[in-house]
Structure 1
Amino acid sequence: MSEPIWKKSASVAVPEAVMRFLAGQDVVLDRELLPFDIRASRAHARGLARIGLLSDEQAGAIGRELDALSEAFAAGEFVLDDRFEDGHSAIEAWLTARLGETGKRIHAGRSRNDQVAVALRLYLLDRLDRLRDIALAIAEVALARAEREADVALPGHTHLQQAMPSSLGLWWAGHAEAFVDDADLAVRIREHLNASPLGTASGFGVNLALDRDGVAEELDFDRLVVNPQNAQAQRGKAELRALDALSAATGDLRRLAWDLSLFASQEFGFVTVPAAFCTGSSIMPNKHNPDAVELLRALHATVVGARAELESVLSLPSGYQRDLQDTKPPVLRAFARGLEGLALLPGLLGGLSWNVERMASAIRPAQYATDRANELVAEGLSFRDAYRRVGDELDALEARSPADSLAARVSLGGCGRLGLERIRARADALRPAAGD
């Protein structure tokens, strides 16, 4: 590892084992954050030029070298490895090696706390954009299948017991609306987090007239985190809010995966999961296991675990504490794994094959009881009297059909009036405008 940028005296030797412990996983984790750190450094340099701490030529040279670093990193020509303490020191080392004294000026008016706070904020905004896009892609597949399979009968269940006749249209629309809700939450939380902490330094501000507003605008932030103490307190808290959005989506994914796990079992036999998402058994030749569905079902645990780690770390007083370094691993892990799994869902859902005959034959006459009770209510009977009468006359429901039951369910959102256009309109409103 190169000499740390905070070392003040050549006479003080920091043991290698201590340095490794202090650095932790930073140099590996910062590979995710380095592009955002570079972007913020470029804006910071231009801000320094606007207040006279860098000349325009120096700021231009720093910008060109940061572009070169970004390109080298993307191409794999520059590797963030254990030569460096973290991504921040790597940026400064690159600039100093190429620009000498000019490169050393990049850290004026900022702290590594600044760098990680703004890089994490930019990272979270980017990942929330991805979450929104993936959730809308899932909803789109579900809506398209709801339209095509609106009238396909599916036994409805409560308490894992047969309840009323339902439809694939209603099932698909329910999951579609859930993921539209998740996209909406990602957008709202993104708006909440869209504030720049850059320029608050170590939590006390600096005696330089930094152009915080101009730098924030250049980085596409809507506003500032104004108070330096609050900027430090946002570490971990901002990540928790972003995980709220991810957790909502993986929670809905878990429920959907549970449905598919049950429906794909031989006992139900309602659906066949695409072979590309299944594996076999190493000992049982007959097995065809929907492993991808089961691992998607487990994905929520990664997010819940990340939240637990963050909550545990954040039992801290005001001001920066080195404990905050340990907020990075769980949030980066959760978003990497969570978005990877969610991105598989459109392909999985698009390839499902339903056993229409099996689903229709699973609907028993007793499932029409609520339909009949509501018919009696429409004829003037009180619901409680209708409820009791139908309960005593279940055998009279034998002649009913799933198709008639679904068509008659005309309350908005019900099987006969799915309201897909309303769900789609919400989804369309959440998509970014062209060019955004």
Structure 2
Amino acid sequence: MTRLLWQKPGVQVDERIQHFCAGDDVILDREFFLFDIQASRAHAQGLQLIGILDADELAGIERELTALAADFSAGSFVLDETFEDGHSAIEARLIERLGDAGRKIHTGRSRNDQVLVATRLWLKDRLSRLHALCRESAEVALARAEVEATLPLPGYTHLQRAVVSSAGMWWSAWAEAFIDDAVRARDTLAWVDANPLGSAAGYGVNLPLAREHTTAALGFGRMQVSATYAQLSRGKFEMAAIDALSSAMLDLRRLAWDLSLFTSAEFGFVALPAQYTTGSSIMPNKRNPDVIELMRASYASVAAGRTEVEQLLSLPSGYHRDLQFTKGAIFHAFGRGLGALELLPDLLRNLEWKPDAMRAALDSSMYATDLAVDLAREGMPFRDAYRQAADPARWEQGDADASLAARVSPGAAGDLRLDVLRERLGPGS
């Protein structure tokens, strides 16, 4: 390992303790490294604006940061245990290439605000991707709801057959769910879009740092004004981002449950695309819905990440090393969550209904609610109508298409209001 930034003369570093403290930090920093380089560039520009760096020194730092980003992306620079973390790796590279100019890069900043800004940029990137995936899933669901609006599908409560429903209602439900999730991702992104760079260790520095410049240069919507609050917000903003992800993952989990049931032989309503299934190692007859089962399971990693961050926040104000563990929590939560959501739009585009099986599952009891409402519409008190419609002797196999067409309450099969959902989704971005 290179010499530690904080190492003092005459103090021997215990390798076991250092390994415990560093843990997998340098490995996790690979995820944030390009954002750390981006923030270092903006910080260097700010230092030049206040006279700490001259124009030549800034040009050299910008050149070497560009080269470092390219080398890292190409794999010729590897962030490994040679370095304590990604921050020290950037500084070591600049010192190696630029000497004293590289030694100036850390003026006015701490590794505390350095990790904050890199993480904040990373969260913005991930929330933007979450927003895009939720939009795409909603768009697919809306398109299929329009095409399959009148395709009959049994509606269930308590996993028991309840009423006649439709594929259009099923699709519109998921469309609205993912519209809500997209809105939440967008709003959370706007909330965390605050620049902590320049807050140093949480108390500012005795330099007129160009925080307005770094805010604009890094594309933040606003500056996080209080240097102390910048530290207090660590974990809080991460938890909010995971909450936005959780919203989409809870919907994905329930959707995956539907598909797990609908693809079973007992239901037989849906055929999955072949690439979304796998075989058994011993039973040659099996095609297993492993992908949707792992989609269903992925929420567990998101929930675990959220819990880990929350438990780390039982702290007084100021920076504490405990917060180092928030990086792994958000990395694993978003890695597993976005990985599952990436597969969803194509799954929704390509799953196939089995209309014969869906119609065959519509028994006469599923028209009882229609009967009760019809009697009430004719003037019978609803509780009397309910009792009459509860008599199996009055049940008759109805017309599924007519039942759906008559369901005209807003949002029901006869009035899906897809135009309203489309308006809420809005144009792209």
Q: TM-score, normalised by structure 1?
A: 0.96
How many angstroms apart in 2 are the aligned matches of 1:297 and 1:74?
A: 33
Work out the CA distance in 1 between the residues paired with 2:277 and 2:421. 31
Matched, 1:279 2:278: yes
* Counterpart position of 1:75: 74
Matching residue of 1:51: 50
Provide the rounded CA distance (Å) in 1 between the counterparts of 2:19 and 2:303.
28
Quote how far apart the aligned CAs of 1:399 are. Answer: 4.5
Deviation at residue 383 of structure 1 after TM alignment: 1.7
Give the letter aligned to residue 400 of structure 1.
G
Cα distance, 1:297 vs structure 2: 0.4
Give the aligned partner of residue 5 of structure 1: 5
Look up the match of 2:293. Answer: 294
Within 1, Cα distance between the matches of 2:150 and 2:272?
21
Q: What residue is the counterpart of 1:338 in the other structure?
A: 337
Give 1:105's aligned residue.
104
Counterparts of 1:343 and 1:226, CA distance in 2 = 35
Secondary structure of the residue that 1:190 maps to in structure 2?
A: helix
Q: What is the aligned partner in structure 2 of residue 154 from structure 1?
A: 153
Q: Aligned-pair distance for 1:210?
A: 0.7
Residue 218 of structure 2: aligned partner: 219
SS of corresponding position for 1:226: coil
Does the CA contact (< 8 Å) of 2:389 and 2:395 recur in 1?
Answer: no
Q: What is the aligned partner in structure 2 of residue 410 from structure 1?
A: 408
Give deviations 1:45-99, integer Å, cap 9, x for gaps.
Answer: 1111111111122112211111111111111111111111100001101111111
1:206 alignment counterpart:
205
Whole-angstrom CA distance in 2 between matches of 1:161 and 1:371: 17
Write the distance in 1 (CA, Å) between the matches of 2:88 and 2:113.
Answer: 13
- Give the AA of the match of 2:393: D
SS in 2 for 1:162: strand
Deviation at 1:134, TM superposition (A): 0.7
Match of 1:255 in 2: 254
Q: What does residue range 59-208 of structure 1 map to in structure 2 within 5 Å?
A: 59-208=58-207
* One-letter identity of the residue aligned with 1:2: T
Q: Which amino acid aligns with 1:381?
A: M
Q: Deviations over 1:410-433 (max 9, x none)?
A: 11211111111111222224x32x
Match of 1:375 in 2: 374
Match of 2:423 in 1: 425
Cα separation, 1, equivalents of 2:203 and 2:311? 25
Contact 2:153 2:167 (C-alpha < 8 Å) held by counterparts = yes
SS of the equivalent of 2:64 reads: helix
- Three-state SS of the structure 2 residue aligned to 1:163 is strand
User: Which residue number corresponds to residue 313 of structure 1?
Assistant: 312
- Give the deviation of 1:336 after TM superposition: 1.1
Which letter does structure 1 place at the counterpart of 2:298? L
Question: What secondary structure is seen at the aligned counterpart in 2 of 1:300?
Answer: helix
Which secondary structure state, in structure 2, belongs to the residue aligned with residue 107 of structure 1?
coil
Contact 2:91 2:102 in 1 (8 A): yes
Aligned residue type for 1:304: A
- Equivalent residue of 1:374, what SS? helix
Report deviation, 1:382.
2.2
Matched residue of 2:278: which SS?
coil
Alignment root-mean-square deviation, CA: 1.2
Aligned-partner Cα distance in 2 for 1:233–1:131:
25
Letter in 2 for 1:214: H
Q: Look up the SS of the partner of 2:164 in the other structure.
A: strand
What amino acid sits opposite 1:404 in the alignment?
Answer: A
Q: TM-score, normalised by structure 2?
A: 0.98
Range with greater deviation from structure 2 (41-50 or 226-235): 226-235
Instruction: Provide the C-alpha distance between the structure 1 equivalents of 2:288 and 2:90, rounded to a whole number of angstroms.
Output: 47
Q: Which amino acid counterpart does residue 5 of structure 2 have in structure 1? A: I
1:221-249 Cα distance to aligned partner (Å, 9 max, x none):
11122112211111111110000011001
Secondary structure of the 1:78 match is coil
Structure 2 counterpart of 1:22: 21
Once residues 261 and 397 of structure 2 are traced to their aligned partners in structure 1, the CA distance between those partners, rounded to angstroms, is 29
Structure 2 partner of 1:268: 267
% identical equivalent positions = 55
Alignment match, 1:401:
399
Q: How far, CA to CA, are the matches of 2:76 and 2:421 in structure 1? A: 46
- Distance in 1, matches of 2:380 and 2:224, equals 61
- The CA deviation at 1:342 is 0.6
Give CA deviations for 1:303-345 in whole Å, capped at 9, x if unaligned. Answer: 0111111111111111101111111101101111111111001
Rounded to whole Å, the distance in 2 between the matches of 1:352 and 1:395 is: 38
Q: Take 1:419 and 1:133, find their aligned partners in 2: how far apart are those partners?
A: 23
> What is the CA–CA distance in structure 2 between the aligned matches of 1:223 and 1:231, rounded to whole Å?
13
- Displacement of 1:279 in angstroms is 1.3
- Cα deviation, residue 362, structure 1: 0.6
Q: Distance in 2 between matches of 1:107 and 1:402?
A: 71
**Alpha-carbon separation, structure 1, partners of 2:110 and 2:70:** 25
- Supply the distance in 2 between the matched residues of 1:399 and 1:100 (Cα, whole angstroms): 85
Return 5+ residue gaps in structure 1 as ranges. none
Instruction: Give the number of equivalent residue pairs.
Output: 429
SS of equivalent residue, structure 2 residue 426: helix
Distance 2:300 2:178 in 1: 18
Aligned mates of 2:271, 2:123 — CA distance in 1: 36
| Correspondence for 1:42 | 41
Deviations 1:386-409 (A, max 9, x none): 2122223x4334152100000011
